[in-house]
Amino acid sequence: MNVLFTALLSEGSIIDLDGTMLIQFVLFCVAFFVFRPLIFRPMVALFEAREAAIEGSKLEALRLQDEASAESEEFEVEMRRLRLQAGEERDRLRAEGKRLERAVLDRVREETDKLVAEAESKLSTEASRLRADLDGSVPVLAKQIASKMLNREVQ
């Protein structure tokens, strides 16, 4: 650090301007003009192409996102319409099922009532026939019971 201060405080310059400076400038210009078409321009073109591709991809992504959003809205509208239609169809089928249920129950009720009426008719006919049979067999049964109770023959 003392060396730097002494160099600054001295009257001499830090950089010496001599002939090597001109040689370095010429070498720099030659390298610049040689490397410019070989390296710098292709690199700049590559960077610009990459930026253009990124911007194009961003625009395409935004377009696709807008398109997907529009299709999603269309899908939701269609789903609402189909749900409404399905609900109406379900209600219609439910009403049809209830109507068929009532018809079947009415038919079964009529058949059951008819069968019950027939059974009651048969039962009352059979009961009448059995009563008549019993009325005819009562004297015989009474004699048999009396004979058993009295341990003798009853006339």
- pLDDT tens digits, one per residue of 50-61: 999 999 999 999
**The domain containing residue 108 runs over which residues?**
31-150
pLDDT of residue 76: 94
Question: Is 8 part of any domain?
Answer: no
Whole-number Å distance between alpha carbons of 103 and 110: 11
Whole-number Å distance between alpha carbons of 74 and 81: 11
Q: Looking at per-residue confidence, does 19 or 68 come out higher?
A: 68
Q: Looking at per-residue confidence, does 154 or 89 come out higher?
A: 89
Question: Is 70 part of any domain?
Answer: yes
Question: Is 16 part of any domain?
Answer: no
Quote the mean pLDDT of the chain.
87
Question: Is 120 part of any domain?
Answer: yes
Question: Is 110 part of any domain?
Answer: yes
Whole-number Å distance between alpha carbons of 134 and 111: 33
The string of pLDDT tens digits covering residues 10-27 is 566 677 778 888 899 999
Q: Chain centroid to CA 103: how far?
A: 37
> Is the entire prediction scored with pTM above 0.85?
no
Question: Is 3 part of any domain?
Answer: no
Whole-number Å distance between alpha carbons of 89 and 99: 15
Question: Is 9 part of any domain?
Answer: no
Backbone angles phi, psi at 15, to 5 degrees: -105, 130
Output DSSP code: residue 138.
Answer: H
pLDDT of residue 153: 80
Q: Looking at per-residue confidence, does 144 or 100 come out higher?
A: 100
Residue 2: pLDDT band by 50, 70, 90 thresholds? low
Question: Is 136 part of any domain?
Answer: yes
**How many domains does the structure of the chain reveal?**
1
Tell me the residue type at 148.
Answer: K
